[in-house]
Amino acid sequence: MAARARAAAAEWGRRLGAWVYPRPPLCLICRDGPVTARSEPLCPECLAELPRLHGFLCERCGQPTEPERVRDPPGTRGEKGRWPPVLRRTREVFLRVAGGPVECPRCRRDPPAFARARAVGLYSGWLRAAVHRLKYRGEAELSLPLGALMGLLAREELLFATTSAVVPVPLHPGRLQERGYNQSELLAAGVARLLARPLRPELLARPRPTAPQVGLDEGSRRRNLQGAFAVSDARSVRGRRILLVDDVLTTGATCREAARTLLAAGARRVDVLTLAVTPPPEGDRPE
């Protein structure tokens, strides 16, 4: 009897301790480290290992680019069109302070329909693994911390503050039935919540089925997506600033076509926010 009483007292003591000093939740990415800060969606270790974007980013697509390949303001390039190595860092600082346009070769050749795209990080490391887990392994709960990361970035971008509505890139109904959920819509929910803007997944539909984009080159991706999207309610789009949300920006073909469709329906401006962005293709990298 006494042993049972001691065991019961110990159990109540454990429950009381857990209530007074609750354990922090575990990080959904590594499922090991505790999330110690309420303002952070991940554990400190995963945040430290986030493949962040550094250096120059294209002002349009948000992909990494190189100082030698950015467009300079008039009168700031040498006669041969290149800056000496010792002056490249000075040039980088100058462009950042002067606000000179920084665009990758692809966006200069073929400007996208969207005004600006930004991403949380580079499509590598645990961020790439997390995207695969979210899309192909049914781990929909990962959208909570990942969507929060995107929402925190959206709040930092001043241009996103004027967003009228958050719209996820839709899946075709057949693909949606196979997967059970649209990962972009789950991510967009976190963005809309932190940005305090309405989530409007019903505004953009994908009535035409398309082949998977994986393995296709840029031209094939664009042809594959022509006419794939449709606006369901043009009145709700007309004159509004739309923030389009997707998981990964690779060539930008999906977001280009979705943005073109929204603008054709009367949207005033379309910006893009993705969880990850891939490095530029070989042809658009520095020589």
**Which pLDDT value is given to residue 159?**
80
Which tokens belong to 21? 């000093």
Angstrom distance (rounded) from CA 219 to CA 210:
14
In tens, the pLDDT along 268-284 reads 999 999 999 998 765 44
| Cα–Cα separations (whole angstroms), residue 192 to 96, 102, 243 | 29, 28, 9
Which residues 6+ apart lie within 8 Å of 49 measured at CB? 125, 126
Is the confidence at residue 85, as pLDDT, over 70? Answer: no
Angstrom distance (rounded) from CA 217 to CA 28:
33
When pLDDT is averaged across residues 150-155 and rounded to a whole number, the result is 94
The residue to which tokens 């893009």 are assigned: 272
**Which pLDDT value is given to residue 1?**
58
Nearest to 116 by CA among 248, 257, 255, 229: 255
Phi/psi of residue 88, nearest 5 degrees:
-65, -40
Q: How confident is the model at residue 3 (pLDDT cuts 50, 70, 90)?
A: low
Q: How confident is the model at residue 79 (pLDDT cuts 50, 70, 90)?
A: very low
**Which pLDDT value is given to residue 10?**
59
When pLDDT is averaged across residues 90-102 and rounded to a whole number, the result is 56
Angstrom distance (rounded) from CA 167 to CA 219:
25
Angstrom distance (rounded) from CA 75 to CA 91:
12
More reliable by pLDDT, 74 or 111: 111
**Which pLDDT value is given to residue 90?**
56
More reliable by pLDDT, 191 or 101: 191
When pLDDT is averaged across residues 218-238 and rounded to a whole number, the result is 84
Portion of the chain with pLDDT greater than 90, in percent: 54
Which structural domains are found in the chain, ordered by start? 67-98 (no CATH), 105-284 (3.40.50.2020)
When pLDDT is averaged across residues 20-29 and rounded to a whole number, the result is 69
When pLDDT is averaged across residues 105-128 and rounded to a whole number, the result is 94
Which tokens belong to 153? 């970035």
Q: How confident is the model at residue 77 (pLDDT cuts 50, 70, 90)?
A: very low
| Cα–Cα separations (whole angstroms), residue 58 to 115, 205, 264 | 12, 28, 24
Angstrom distance (rounded) from CA 182 to CA 134:
10
**Which pLDDT value is given to residue 81?**
46
In tens, the pLDDT along 30-45 reads 988 888 776 678 899 9
More reliable by pLDDT, 68 or 231: 231
Angle subtended at Cα 147 by Cα 43 and Cα 138, rounded to the nearest 5 degrees: 90
